[in-house]
Homo-oligomer: A and B are copies of this chain.
Amino acid sequence: MRAVVYAGPKTVHVEQVPDPRIQAPGDALVRVRLTAVCGTDLHVIAGHLPGVEPNAVVGHEFVGDVIEIGVAVQRIKPGDHVMASDFTACGRCRWCERGDHWECAERAFFGTGTAFGPMLAGAQAEMVRVPHADATLFPVPPGCSDQAALLVGDNLATAWVAVERAAVEPGDAVAVIGGGAVGQLASLCAQTAGAGALVVVEPHVQRRRFAEAHGALSAAPETARELVHQLTGGDGADVVIDAVGGNGPLRAAFELVRRRGRIVSVGTHTSPGFELPIARSFAEELTLTFAIGDSIRVRRRLLALIASRALDPTVIISATLPLADAPAAYAQLAEQRQLKVILDPTR
């Protein structure tokens, strides 16, 4: 089959690779209808994640059709039209029962090397093997587009988990650091949860315009504090969502949060340490929490919101390209010329 493979630092190729096959009783094989490129993929092909070897298939977002199942699979069957979580989990352990699938000991993350679990081939391909298919896959409901279902599998789940963990309540003032795919979706999710004042903080003017066109206010990083304080009578935001990751954006979050406020970071952190302003955090009773998208936990809720048109994540899709154009898609995302690119392996 054809697949997008890692071909050296910041380089992907579209190559022929062996077809995947069922390896365990809980596996399923899925013929991919749509896949996509995520900000995480840019980290993956930067070349510093362990286990990302040349010719490794990358990508972790997809929808498709089940073509084969292992003998232990009970909830789905060949022919099912499904969406997928970006990582697998057993669905049965104490973590999974609590809804914390990310903590499952059997977690594996599609197409990201060995940093987050055992190696698992990616989904930017014509077919993909899905371990723990009963937990990882879910039927695309009638009336839900493939595009929306794909986003539920990762970016929208990540955005929603930020809002959920921050316990955004109706009327809360929310600042979102970052106007990329996850940040824009976090803005939409915060609106769905009833956010009051809502500011997307983003250096690029086009992404600020996008946020404004979709219900938020926006600010460049250097003016964010002034706007947030103006909107909140000088208090700061009830909730700050860091949708970028890294120490700089997290420091920016501390600039925007009010006393007794909550910071949730769903951006990736790879640096070992962060200089937490602890005396201030104590004196102002701050909360800092880190969360990772969990589509398995939140997909029913998100699909209900999509079905009722309370939430439409597909607005962030800026291009749909054939699989063969994956190298261009990666390049354009790296240059922030796209917000979200879908790849179609059937073209």
Q: Which A residues lie at the B interface, using CB under 8 A?
A: 72, 74-75, 92, 94-95, 97, 100, 102-103, 116, 134, 169-173, 191-198, 231, 245, 247, 250, 259-260, 265, 268-279, 281-292, 300-302, 304-305, 307-308, 310
Q: A304 to B273, Cβ gap below 8 A?
A: no
Copies in the complex: 4
Q: Which residues of B are found within 8 Å of A292, using beta-carbon distances?
A: 282-283, 285
A-B CB proximity, top 4 nearest: A171-B304, A196-B308, A287-B289, A171-B301
Chain B nearest CB, measured from A117 CB (Å): 11
Interchain CA distance A173-B303 in the complex, whole Å? 12
Most chain B Cβ neighbours within 10 Å, of A278, A287, A289: A278
Q: A290 to B300, Cβ gap below 8 A?
A: no
Q: A279 to B270, Cβ gap below 8 A?
A: yes
Contact partner, A194, options B283, B284, B305, Cβ 8 Å: B305
For A72, the closest partner residue in chain B by CB is: B74
Q: Which residues of B are found within 8 Å of A100, using beta-carbon distances?
A: 259-260, 285
Q: Which residues of B are found within 8 Å of A92, using beta-carbon distances?
A: 74-75, 134
Interchain CA distance A269-B292 in the complex, whole Å? 29
Interchain CA distance A170-B92 in the complex, whole Å? 22
Q: Which residues of B are found within 8 Å of A290, using beta-carbon distances?
A: 281-282, 284-287
Q: Which residues of B are found within 8 Å of A279, using beta-carbon distances?
A: 269-272
Interchain CA distance A283-B100 in the complex, whole Å? 12
Contact partner, A171, options B102, B277, B302, Cβ 8 Å: B302
Interchain CA distance A218-B291 in the complex, whole Å? 31
Contact partner, A276, options B72, B274, B302, B304, Cβ 8 Å: B274
